[in-house]
Amino acid sequence: MILLPGMAQTLKACFRRELLIGFRNRGDIANPLIFFLCMLVFIPLGISPDSQVLAPLAPGMIWVIALLATLLSLDRLFMTDYEDGSLEQMLLSGQPLYLTTLAKIWVHWMMTGLPLTLLSPLLARLMFLPSEAFAALVLSLLLGTAVLSFIGAIGAALTVALKRGGLLLSLIVMPLYVPALILGSGIVQNAVEGFDNQAYVALLAAYLLLCTMLAPLAAAAALRVSLDT
């Protein structure tokens, strides 16, 4: 999608607004990080502290925990604007809802996926992941958590008007998360085993590009349907 000058200004304004709101709601940033940290601390205690046991599980386990941590924050993606009436005003303003949705998704990733990505090498040590796989882990999470935010936005938009829609949101987005989970953990596993990662990285990047183009459109349409009901 090509942005005209006026649309670029609108996107910039939406992005600044969402970023400001995100920093004001610091709990939305802290909750996924605390969950991510707690899970990676408790898993060695619950399974085994032996590196020979944890190291083979590390690629898939880290990715599953990152997926669940992202899912934990999705129900608030549109809920605040829905509760205070801002979402209806966005629909009535005549501005492209696609741009607002796109800004919300990118800010959500910056507040959840990016901190998880930056924290992942430190926490990977708790799972005894080999150090040569750290770069692959960061790359896979950098691409993959953005995919999770884009796909999750569709589920969040469909359930924004529902009370206690968290379970339904999970059921909607989980099947779409499977390719990202397979590709992301596969990148890390290939790095551990010394195999080439280019195919997995290319597929995950292509999946992110597809989600960037289509997910905001789907989420915007879902928001219109949710508010009409």
For 72-90, how does the pLDDT look when each residue is reduced to its tens digit (9 = 90+)?
888 778 887 787 777 787 7
Domain-by-domain residue ranges, the chain?
5-228
Tell me, what's the pLDDT at 6? Answer: 57
The model's pTM: 0.86
Q: Give residue 33's pLDDT.
A: 79
- Quick: pLDDT tens for 116-145: 899 888 878 888 888 889 999 999 999 999
Provide CB contacts within 8 A for 211, sequence distance 6+: 146, 147, 150, 151
> What is the reported pLDDT for 181?
92
- In the chain, which ranges are continuous DSSP H helix? 5-24, 26-46, 51-74, 79-83, 86-92, 97-111, 113-124, 134-158, 166-193, 198-228
Alpha-carbon torsion angle 138, 177, 72, 188, nearest 10: -20
**In the prediction, which pLDDT does 178 show?**
92
- Residue 62 is predicted with a pLDDT of 87
Q: Which residues of the chain have pLDDT under 50?
A: 1-2, 4
